[in-house]
């Protein structure tokens, strides 16, 4: 730390210098306490970026977690508070009553080299949305994961914001997804399994509904789903990315717009990725997750708030 030298006050001597050091130490302690206790959501605390590549930068997405099954990456998720992660419900299909099979790895950039500052914690339980039916591509594909104990926040481990009622994500909004999933069908992410990122535009719901049309009364795209990606294919989420975030930046903070849910194949033409909309399940999440932070448009009362403490559709996991 570089400290500017200031003229000594009369009679200051060592006592004045000691006082300055104590003040600096106290200030540093307060800053650390803010990170550990209640950091701002959606704001990474590092500046470096990889421009134009597929690899993300270390600590670029500090809320993205790896949900592991028997010690192997299974799904992704997003950190909401020190005790809660949100992911896709289908990640726990067949194993909902066996939380001991699962753990959550936080603060890892490369799965094969998570580093000493990563954290691994068990799962106390997973709570799928009550409307989820465990059918592939079904509505309400969202689950809240309660961690066994609170994690410690750091530059690599921070929560993401949730959108409040003032926010919508219109078509062509550029957002981002991130995950450790396969780089194409049948091709896993190679060593050292660096977190990948991809910019994806929001697709109009009418267009997506037509693309996935299955006939009258068999709508694949329900009111709580949203689509993002490229109609020409080639760029998309894939196997192992399920549960990860669809993130959009609003007024300087990253908001969780959706959860990677399903798609037909990976990066197929006219088969964009389908996401569970957080806005559609906002009230359910808010009711359960104590301390989740909501952000929105400043003209819509979005200065930010936190709830008080207290068929053909193939899933991607």
Q: Are 259 and 275 in contact (CB under 8 A)?
A: yes
Tokens found for residue 143: 């689950």
Hey, which bits of the chain come out as E strands?
64-69, 72-79, 84-87, 102-106, 119-128, 143-147, 162-163, 174-179, 196-203, 225-228, 245-250, 253-263, 273-277, 293-295, 305-306, 314-315
H-helix or E-strand containing 288?
helix 282-288
Give dist(CA 93, CA 70) in Å, integer: 15
Choose, from 78, 182, 242, 261, the residue flagged as catalytic: 242
Neighbouring CB atoms inside 10 A of 317's CB total 25
Active site residue 168: no
Active site residue 141: yes
Choose, from 56, 74, 78, 90, the residue flagged as catalytic: 90
Give dist(CA 114, CA 245) in Å, integer: 20
Choose, from 141, 164, 224, 241, the residue flagged as catalytic: 141
For residue 123, list its beta bridge partners. 147
Q: Are 295 and 317 in contact (CB under 8 A)?
A: no
Active site residue 74: no
Strand-by-strand arrangement of the 162-163 sheet: 162-163, 293-295, 305-306
Tokens found for residue 50: 């990889």
Give dist(CA 102, CA 165) in Å, integer: 33
Residue numbers annotated as active site: 90, 141, 242
């Amino acid at each position: 730390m570089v400290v500017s030298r200031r003229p000594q006050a009369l009679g200051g001597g060592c006592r004045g210098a000691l006082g300055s050091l104590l003040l600096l130490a106290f200030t540093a302690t307060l800053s650390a306490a803010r990170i550990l206790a209640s950091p701002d959501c959606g704001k990474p605390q590092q500046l470096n970026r990889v421009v134009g590549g597929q690899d993300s930068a270390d600590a670029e997405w500090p809320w993205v977690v790896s949900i592991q099954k028997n010690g192997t990456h299974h799904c992704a998720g997003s950190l909401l508070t020190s005790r809660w992660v949100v992911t896709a419900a289908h990640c726990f299909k067949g194993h909902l009553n066996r939380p001991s099979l699962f753990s959550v790895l936080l603060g890892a950039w490369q799965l094969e080299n998570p580093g000493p500052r990563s954290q691994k914690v068990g799962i106390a339980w997973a709570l799928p949305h009550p409307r989820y039916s465990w059918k592939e591509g079904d509505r309400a594909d969202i689950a809240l994961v309660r961690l066994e104990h609170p994690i410690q926040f750091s530059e690599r481990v921070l929560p993401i914001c949730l959108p409040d009622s003032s926010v919508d994500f219109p078509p062509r909004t550029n957002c981002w997804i991130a995950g450790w999933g396969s780089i194409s069908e049948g091709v896993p992410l190679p060593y050292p399994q660096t977190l990948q990122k991809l910019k994806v535009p929001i697709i109009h719901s009418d267009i997506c509904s037509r693309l996935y049309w299955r006939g009258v009364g068999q709508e694949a795209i329900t009111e709580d789903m949203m689509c993002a990606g490229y109609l020409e294919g080639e760029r998309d989420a894939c196997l192992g990315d399920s549960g990860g975030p669809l993130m959009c930046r609003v007024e300087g903070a990253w908001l969780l717009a959706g959860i990677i849910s399903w798609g037909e194949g990976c990066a197929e033409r006219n088969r964009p990725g389908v996401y569970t909309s957080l806005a559609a399940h906002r009230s359910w999440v808010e009711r359960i997750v104590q301390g989740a932070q909501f952000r929105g448009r400043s003209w819509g009362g979005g200065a930010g708030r936190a709830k008080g403490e207290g068929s053909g559709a193939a899933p991607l996991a």
